[in-house]
Amino acid sequence: MVFLGGGLGAVCRYFVTTQVGARFGTVFPFGTLTVNTLGSFLMGLIMGALLFLTERTGLTAGPLKLLLTVGFLGGFTTFSSFSMETMTLLRGSSYFYAAANVALNFLCGFCAVWAGLMLARTLVR
């Protein structure tokens, strides 16, 4: 499950980052920011839905959880890319963009997880 989800997630990551980069340029790593934010939202949504369904039904979704979170989202989100892009910005003396990249990835990711959990709560309950 992890292998299948990871491969699909990696392909989706490549597609999203290249499309966002083509649309908004590559001076700032908007593609990685988009993937990290979307991945965080999906993590909140999926984990929230699984949690709330488990509370309601008592059933667990082990293989589905592995496929979607560890597999797909593990292949989709790009923390290592985020780290390298931030280092590249720092090495190029783009301190403002480096700080913005760290702050936006954290803030957008945290808010997206929260939004996903809230949506899951609304949809499942």
CA nearest neighbour of 112 among 47, 22, 15? 47
H or E, element range at 52: helix 30-57
For residue 52, what are the domain limits? 2-124
Q: How does residue 29 score in pLDDT terms, banded at 50, 70 and 90?
A: very high
For position 31, what pLDDT does the model report?
96
Q: How does residue 125 score in pLDDT terms, banded at 50, 70 and 90?
A: confident
3-state secondary structure 88-110: HHHHCCCHHHHHHHHHHHHHHHH
Neighbour tally for 19: CB within 10 Å: 12
Whether residue 77 is annotated as binding a ligand: the answer is: yes
Model pLDDT for residues 61-85, shown as the tens digit of each residue: 889 999 999 999 999 998 888 998 9
Q: Specify the number of domains making up the chain.
A: 1
